[in-house]
């Protein structure tokens, strides 16, 4: 965010809260949304952390549960594995499809020189 923009708002009499609410937040909205979406998609497929912190099988995340399908002591048909993979991939795909415009705008704005 250009310092000249903040200085102009201060000259106009804007308070610190007004600077944040009316200038900083609207200009950084796309970047914040992009970070949130990409963090959600990255965290969705985590395996090690949920495996370490969960103690009961009822609390396992979908990635840990899917990994149990491929265990050495279990026999699972490929249909069950593929259905669970589809269900696991569906939420991040929906989030990406509906919020794709914010991701593209956030990356495009971040790449511009101020």
Give the domains, in start order, of the chain with CATH numbers. 3-111 (1.10.3720.10)
Tell me how far apart the alpha carbons of residues 74 and 60 are, in angstroms, rounded to a whole number.
17
pTM of the predicted protein model? 0.68
Tell me how far apart the alpha carbons of residues 101 and 34 are, in angstroms, rounded to a whole number.
9
Average pLDDT, the chain: 83
DSSP state of 7: H
Query: Distances from the Cα of 47 to the Cαs of 59, 68, 88, in angstroms?
Result: 13, 11, 13
pLDDT, tens digit, 9 for 90 and up, residues 46-88: 888 888 898 888 888 888 888 877 776 667 778 887 888 888 8
- Whether residue 31 contacts residue 109, with contact meaning beta carbons closer than 8 Å, is answered with yes
């Amino acid at each position: 965010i250009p310092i000249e923009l903040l200085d102009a708002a201060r000259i106009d009499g804007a308070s610190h809260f007004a600077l944040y609410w009316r200038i900083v937040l609207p200009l950084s909205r796309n970047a914040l949304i992009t970070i949130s979406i990409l963090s959600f998609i990255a965290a969705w497929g985590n395996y090690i952390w949920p495996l370490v912190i969960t103690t009961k099988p009822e609390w396992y995340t979908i990635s840990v549960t899917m990994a149990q399908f491929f265990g050495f002591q279990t026999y699972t048909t490929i249909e069950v594995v593929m259905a669970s993979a589809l269900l696991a991939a569906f939420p991040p795909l929906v989030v990406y499809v509906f919020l794709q415009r914010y991701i593209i705008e956030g990356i495009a704005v971040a790449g511009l020189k101020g």
